[in-house]
Structure formats: C-alpha cells, structure tokens
C-alpha cells in the first residue's frame, strides 16, 4: 500500500486479489445480496484509490481497509434502510454422492445461522463478522472500530452468546 | 453454581480462551450438571457451524470492474501529473498569500473581540481601521495573484474584481496594465482595458493605453483602445493613429476608426 500511495497504482492489484473475496463475503453476509456486495467491494477499492494519500503505514493495510469497508456499509445502510433485499442463493453444484445429504445439512445450518444473525443488532452483527468470519484479532477490531480492546471483547462475547441463543431458537 | 454464568463461558471454554481458574470452574460444573452438558454439546455444534461457513465466489464482474477502475485512476493520475508541473509555481505563490491572509484574519478577529469587550477608545478603533485596511490589502493581493492563474476565466474574474474597487493604488494599476499589455488571452486584455477606464485620469494609465495601442495587433483591442483614447481626450494618441492608418497590416475597419479619431483630435 505504501507503493500505491506513492503513485504506483499497479501495486493495488495484488491487494485486490488477496482481499476481494473476504470483502465480498463480508458485505454479502451483511446485505444478503450478491450484486450489491459486488458494488460495495468496488466502492471500497475506489475509496482506497481516492484516499491513498492519507494511508498511514503505522496501521495495517487490513485494518484500514476494514475501516473503509465499515464506512461504505454504514453509508449503504443509511441510504437503503427501507429496501428489503431478498437473498437469492447462488447456483450450487449438486453432488451425486453420499455427501449430498451432508451438504444439504450444512446448507440448512448455514441458512439458520444467517437467519439468526438477522436477529442481532447491526453492531453485534459486525463484530461477529469481523471476529469470526474475517478472523480478526480483538486488538485489530479495536483499531478498526475505535473501541477499546476490552470493550470489543465484551461485545464479542455478548454477541456470540446472543447468536447462539437465536440459533437454537430457530434450529 | 449458577448455570447461566457457566453457559455464558462455554464458547470461550471451547476455544480455550479462559484462564485456568475459570476453565476449572466450567469443568467441575459440567461434571455435575446434565443440563449444562447438553448446552455444552449444542455450543460445540454451533461453533462447528460458524467455523464451517465457506466463502462464496463473486461473479467475474467484480474483478473486471476493479481493473476498469484501476485503469481510469491511472489515466487521472497521468493528467494530474501533467497539470501539476504546469501549476506548481503559481500554486505555491497562491498558497503563500492564503497563509498571510489567514494570519491577518486571525489578528483582525482578535482585534475585533478586544474592541467588543471594552469601550471603544480612539486608539482601538484606529487599530481596527488599520487592520481593516490590511485585510483589504490582502484581498487585493490575493486577487492579483489570481491574475497569474493558468486559465483565462480565472484571470478574467480577477480583473472584474479589481475593477469594482473605488480606489486603486499604483500596485493594482500596474498589475492591470501588465495584464492589458501581456496577457495571452484577448478577452482578458479587453477586460483589463475596460477596467482601467475608471482610472483613466491617472498618468500611468494614459501612458499604458498609448503604449499598448502602439504594440497591439489584435483588431478588437485596437478598436477598444482607440475608443477609449477618444473618450478620455488623449491628444498624444493622434500620432499613433496616423501611424495605424499608414500601416498595411491593419484591417480596413481599424484604419477607418483611426481616421475618425484623428478628426476628433483636430
């Protein structure tokens, strides 16, 4: 990213390759919509380009990127509060083997989990997303959200237990 | 032992995030409480589900759009770098002026506050007046700096601002004169000529008109200048007008104007 900041724009390509999948799924779980998620990923990288001069190498690129991603999602959320998006499942390849049943079970567990996540508050959803699915450390989440590490820990603890509760209500 | 408290710790326990003391508490409780053992199994299953979530693949559009975005930005960057080398010097000067202007604004603001909080003395109002004039000066300097901007529309705007001033010192006049004589754009030169008519009684301006008429080859400027010189009754223009009539390069319409002008001066 330091290279990108100094004007070597091609250096952004490897960063895109590395992170776009995670970002896409980040947005996908929050918005439940594929094409919106693609747009939001695009917005993140557009902002990275626009604000490249403000990048501070004392922070990890990853933290900075998630900060931007959060803002992008917050803006989207603010502008589209009323839009209820239907979650259309992408086409899945059907397995003709024994694993088909297992696969179906896995799918249904996933669906329940996502449904349970809808029952969480936005900030709880976000913390689950960052700590669980994006695999970030509490310290890093603290940097991204501007909360203290302890606060993040407490929030994550409450969120995961709440999610567990909701999950078993639905299951 | 409180079951709710234990159940709250199960996930941390499963992920080995508890300290030894807490972990022991949980283990001891699980041995004795069947209800919490069930809860423990469920939590395990739940964690398994969460950790089992796989990333979905976005469509190919995403990468395509990104590459397009990158190309666009590279194009922007190229254009910026061209402009940057062009404007570097001017921007620097402009920035300097802004700095001074800001400093004076602050001083003025402080002066204003002081003046507000205590009864006006002659001294203070004089100070404020002098700050006010400093401020006006600064504005003027800023505008004059704008005359060095690369686009003609910006310069045109600056000329118009200077024109609105009732009193002009030599500095403003000389900047306008310089613009009249050497700006690259006809419209800006024309605007400068018109702006100067207000101060036509000033010898500096009169000389500038004569000087410019001698050098200008642009018909529209020549006509404007001839008209102005007739208006302000500048007799020295007569010789110049005669020269214009003699010169073959000049357009017939300009020569005609010059002829008319000479009659007026006779």
* CA–CA distances in Å: residue B230 to residues A116, B220, B227: 88, 16, 5
Query: ∠ CA(A115), CA(A92), CA(A117), 5° rounding?
Result: 10
* CA–CA distances in Å: residue B102 to residues A95, B91, B139: 71, 16, 11
* CA–CA distances in Å: residue B133 to residues B56, B104, B118, B199: 67, 11, 22, 20
Q: What is the DSSP string of A43-105?
A: HHHHHHHHTGGG--TTS-HHHHHHHHHHHHHHHHHHHTTT-----PPPP-PPP-STHHHHHHH
B192 has pLDDT over 60: yes
Two tokens at B87? 């404007």
**A113, B53 contact by CB (below 8 A):** yes
Average per-residue pLDDT for chain B: 79
How many other CB atoms sit within 10 Å of the CB of residue A126?
24
A71 in the same domain as A24: yes
CA distance A70 to A23: 10
Whole-number pLDDT of residue A81: 63
Higher pLDDT, A161 or B213: A161
Substitution target in A6, A160, A162 with the highest count of B β-carbons within 10 Å is: A160
User: Given A79, A113, A137, which residue is the final one in a domain?
Assistant: A79
A122 in the same domain as A68: no
B198 has pLDDT over 60: yes
In a domain, A85, yes or no: no
A135–B contact, CB cutoff 8 A: no
A103 in the same domain as A58: no
* CA–CA distances in Å: residue B253 to residues A98, B219, B220, B230, B260: 98, 8, 10, 16, 11
A7 in the same domain as A68: yes
In a domain, A91, yes or no: no
Total number of domains in chain A: 2
A156 in the same domain as A126: yes
**Does B65 contact A109 at a Cβ distance shorter than 8 Å?**
no
- List Cβ neighbours of B205 (8 Å cut-off, separation of 6 or more): B173, B177, B196, B199
In a domain, A130, yes or no: yes
A63 in the same domain as A112: no
Average per-residue pLDDT for chain A: 84
A93 has pLDDT over 50: no
Which residues in chain A have their CB less than 8 angstroms from residue B77's CB?
Answer: 7, 9
A112 in the same domain as A58: no
Nearest to A167 among B46, B61, B65 (CB): B46
A97 has pLDDT over 60: no
pLDDT single digits (tens) B38-89:
999 999 989 988 888 888 888 888 888 899 888 888 888 788 777 655 555 5
**A144, A63 contact by CB (below 8 A):** yes
**B238, B262 contact by CB (below 8 A):** yes
**B153, B143 contact by CB (below 8 A):** no
Whole-number pLDDT of residue A141: 92
Which residues in chain A have their CB less than 8 angstroms from residue B43's CB?
Answer: 164
Mean pLDDT of A91-103: 59
Taking CB atoms and an 8 Å cut-off, how many pairs form between chains A and B? 77
Residue A149 pLDDT grade (very low, low, confident, very high; cuts 50, 70, 90): very high
B62–A contact, CB cutoff 8 A: yes
A71 has pLDDT over 80: yes
Query: ∠ CA(A153), CA(A157), CA(A163), 5° rounding?
Result: 140
- List Cβ neighbours of B61 (8 Å cut-off, separation of 6 or more): A38
Domain range annotation of chain B: 3-47, 179-266
CA distance A78 to B223: 61
CA distance B259 to B240: 11
A78 has pLDDT over 50: yes
Residue B214 pLDDT grade (very low, low, confident, very high; cuts 50, 70, 90): confident
In a domain, A90, yes or no: no
A157 in the same domain as A104: yes
**Does A24 contact B73 at a Cβ distance shorter than 8 Å?**
no
A51–B contact, CB cutoff 8 A: no
Q: For chain B, first and last CA: distance in Å? A: 119
CA B194 to mean position of chain CA atoms? 26
Q: What is the DSSP string of B132-179?
A: HHHHHHHHHHHHHHHTTSSSHHHHHHHHHHHHT-SS--HHHHHHHHHH
The CATH number of the domain holding residue A44 is 1.10.1740
In chain B, pLDDT over 70 holds for what percent of residues? Answer: 86
Residue B116 pLDDT grade (very low, low, confident, very high; cuts 50, 70, 90): low
A156 has pLDDT over 90: yes
In a domain, A94, yes or no: no
Range(s) of the domain holding residue A31: 2-79
**Residue B61: which of A8, A32, A40 has the closest Cα?**
A40
Which residues in chain B have their CB less than 8 angstroms from residue A113's CB?
Answer: 49-50, 53
Minimal CA separation from B155 to chain A, in Å: 30
The CATH number of the domain holding residue A154 is 1.10.10.10
């Amino acid at each position: 990213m330091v290279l990108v900041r100094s004007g070597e724009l091609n250096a952004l390509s490897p960063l895109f390759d590395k992170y776009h999948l995670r970002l896409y799924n980040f947005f996908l779980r929050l918005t439940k919509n594929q094409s919106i998620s693609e747009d939001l990923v695009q917005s993140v990288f557009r902002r990275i380009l626009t604000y490249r001069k403000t990048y501070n190498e004392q922070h990890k690129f990853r933290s900075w990127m998630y900060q931007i991603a959060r803002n992008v999602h917050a803006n989207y959320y603010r502008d589209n509060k009323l839009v209820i998006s239907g979650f259309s499942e992408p086409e899945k390849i059907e397995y003709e083997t024994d694993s088909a049943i297992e696969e179906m079970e896995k799918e249904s567990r996933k669906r329940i989990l996502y449904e349970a996540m809808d029952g969480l508050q936005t900030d709880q959803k976000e913390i689950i997303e960052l700590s669980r699915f994006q695999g970030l450390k509490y310290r890093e989440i603290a940097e991204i959200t501007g909360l203290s590490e302890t606060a993040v820990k407490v929030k994550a603890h409450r969120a995961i237990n709440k999610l567990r509760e909701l999950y078993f209500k639905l299951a | 032992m409180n079951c709710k408290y234990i159940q709250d710790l199960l996930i941390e326990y499963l992920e080995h995030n508890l300290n030894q003391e807490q972990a022991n508490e949980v283990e001891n409780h699980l041995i004795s409480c069947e209800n919490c053992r069930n809860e423990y199994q469920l939590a395990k299953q739940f964690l398994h589900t969460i950790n089992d979530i796989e990333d979905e693949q976005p469509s190919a559009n995403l990468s395509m759009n990104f590459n397009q975005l990158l190309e666009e930005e590279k194009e922007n960057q190229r254009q910026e770098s061209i402009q940057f080398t062009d404007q570097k010097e001017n921007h620097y000067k402009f920035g300097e002026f802004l700095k001074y202007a800001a400093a004076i604004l602050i001083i003025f603001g402080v002066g204003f506050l002081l003046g507000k909080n205590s009864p006006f003395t002659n001294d203070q109002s004089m100070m404020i007046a002098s700050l006010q004039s400093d401020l006006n000066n600064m504005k003027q300097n800023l505008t004059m700096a704008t005359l060095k901007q690369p686009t003609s529309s910006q310069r045109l705007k600056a000329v118009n601002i200077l024109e609105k001033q009732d009193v002009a010192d030599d500095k403003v006049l000389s900047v306008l004169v310089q613009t009249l004589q050497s700006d690259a754009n006809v419209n800006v030169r024309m605007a400068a000529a018109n702006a100067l008519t207000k101060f036509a009684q000033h010898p500096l301006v009169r000389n500038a008109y004569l000087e410019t008429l001698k050098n200008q080859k642009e018909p529209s400027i020549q006509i404007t200048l001839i008209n102005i010189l007739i208006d302000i009754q500048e007799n020295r223009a007569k010789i110049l007008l005669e020269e214009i009539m003699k010169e073959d390069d000049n357009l017939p319409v300009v020569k005609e104007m010059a002829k008319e002008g000479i009659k007026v001066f006779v």
